[in-house]
């Protein structure tokens, strides 16, 4: 893989992250309402509100010459000389360059600590679901595309279409009711990441408890992904098997299995690689419904709380983490594209 190809992709990733940082800063400050009102009781004095606003840095202009009003942004030229360096954007961006996301308004502790507590549960959930979905979805898509029109193809395609159309929150509640309540077959724990109040004799017992709680959320997310991956892979396989080089491979005397394994799968994987990379990044936020239903302590639930509390530093930190994950996933997809298909490097 050429160095110029790698540098172009890395440069594009860095520029994307910088653009999102700027967009996120102004986007969250367009949210109606004052975060101070959600952090203090209603009967506090204006002096107490002003003191908290000053402590949180909300008394500074949004950007040079721009202040926030109850109705939105307002240009205030009289603040321009003093606000060139002393404004929320410069302070926030300067802290970000030092990897300092500030303190959460609601938690009153560093944003990094708040996010790290929810990051790994989400990575565990999304990583497990994605791994399961890649194996099952790609395999189903390959077989369905190879055996187009067979009974397996008809059943798997229709099942994938149904799963793809089912709302994720409804599927979560259905599986929860069937496999985690006395009304169904209570095979798995219902909610949380671990059993509340449980004590463990060793790390293995702790890991097994987490694994038992992980099963239903993982299957819920994986079912939706399997549907998408299998449909994309099937469509790609059908198109690939019509190509001239496949006909040539058959004319050389290769068996059908050799044609599929040596020639068709590698080229048919290209669209699926993109979908997998995109879905991994989007799942970090798309798992909100699953995390809410199963009370899984991840980034999705944390994002909902941060929006409700108008916690600007936490929201900026969350979306920066999500952005970096999405950009990294797409960068990996681009690099895999360069390996699978050398034509994209030129």
Domains of the chain (ranges plus CATH)? 36-100 (no CATH), 111-345 (1.10.3720.10)
Answer whether residue 207 shows pLDDT above 60.
Answer: yes
Hey, how many other C-beta atoms are within 10 angstroms of the C-beta on 7? 10
End-to-end CA distance of the chain: 10
Q: Are 314 and 110 in contact (CB under 8 A)?
A: no
Cα-Cα-Cα-Cα dihedral sign, residues 236, 239, 242, 245: negative
Q: What is the DSSP string of 128-164?
A: HHHHHHHHHHHHHHHHHHHTTTSHHHHHHHHHHHHHH
Q: Are strands 66-69 and 72-75 parallel, antiparallel or unpaired?
A: antiparallel
Answer whether residue 286 shows pLDDT above 60.
Answer: no
Lowest mean pLDDT among 87-91, 124-128, 278-282: 278-282
Confidence of residue 206 (pLDDT cuts 50, 70, 90): confident
pLDDT of residue 71: 57
The model's pLDDT over 295-338, given as tens digits with 9 standing for 90+, comes to: 888 888 788 888 777 777 788 788 888 878 778 877 777 777 66
pLDDT of residue 139: 92
Mean pLDDT, the chain, rounded, equals 79
Report the distance separating Cα 322 and Cα 316, nearest Å.
Answer: 10
Report the distance separating Cα 273 and Cα 269, nearest Å.
Answer: 6
pTM for the predicted model, two decimal places: 0.73
Report the distance separating Cα 145 and Cα 341, nearest Å.
Answer: 21
């Amino acid at each position: 893989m050429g160095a110029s190809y790698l540098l172009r992709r890395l440069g594009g990733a860095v520029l994307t992250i910088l653009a999102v940082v700027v967009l996120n800063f102004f986007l969250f400050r367009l949210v109606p309402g004052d975060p101070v009102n959600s952090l203090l009781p209603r009967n506090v004095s204006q002096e107490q509100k002003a003191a908290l606003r000053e402590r949180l840095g909300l008394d500074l202009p949004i950007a040079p010459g721009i202040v926030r009003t109850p109705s939105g942004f307002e240009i205030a030229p009289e603040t321009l000389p003093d606000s060139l360096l002393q404004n929320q954007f410069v302070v926030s961006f300067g802290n970000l360059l030092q990897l300092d996301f500030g303190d959460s308004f609601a938690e009153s502790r560093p944003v990094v600590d708040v996010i790290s507590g929810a990051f790994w549960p989400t990575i565990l959930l999304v990583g497990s679901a994605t791994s399961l979905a890649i194996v099952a979805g790609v395999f189903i898509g390959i077989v369905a595309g190879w055996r187009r029109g067979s009974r397996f193809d008809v059943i798997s395609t229709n099942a994938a279409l149904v799963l793809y159309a089912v709302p994720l929150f409804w599927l979560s509640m259905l599986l929860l009711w069937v496999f985690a309540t006395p009304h169904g077959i209570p095979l798995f724990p219902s909610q949380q990441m671990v059993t509340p109040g449980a004590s463990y004799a060793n790390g293995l017992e702790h890991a097994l408890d987490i694994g038992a709680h992980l099963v239903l959320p993982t299957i819920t997310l994986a079912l939706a992904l399997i549907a998408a991956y299998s449909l994309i892979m099937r469509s790609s396989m059908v198109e690939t098997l019509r190509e001239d080089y496949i006909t040539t491979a058959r004319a050389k005397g290769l068996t059908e299995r050799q044609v599929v394994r040596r020639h068709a799968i590698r080229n048919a994987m290209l669209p699926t690689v993109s979908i997998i990379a995109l879905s991994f990044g989007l799942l970090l936020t798309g798992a909100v419904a699953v995390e809410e239903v199963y009370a899984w302590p991840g980034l999705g639930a944390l994002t909902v709380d941060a929006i409700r509390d108008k916690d600007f530093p936490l929201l900026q930190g969350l979306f920066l983490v999500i952005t970096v994950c999405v950009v990294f996933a797409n960068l990996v997809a681009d690099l895999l594209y360069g390996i699978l298909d050398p034509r994209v490097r030129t």
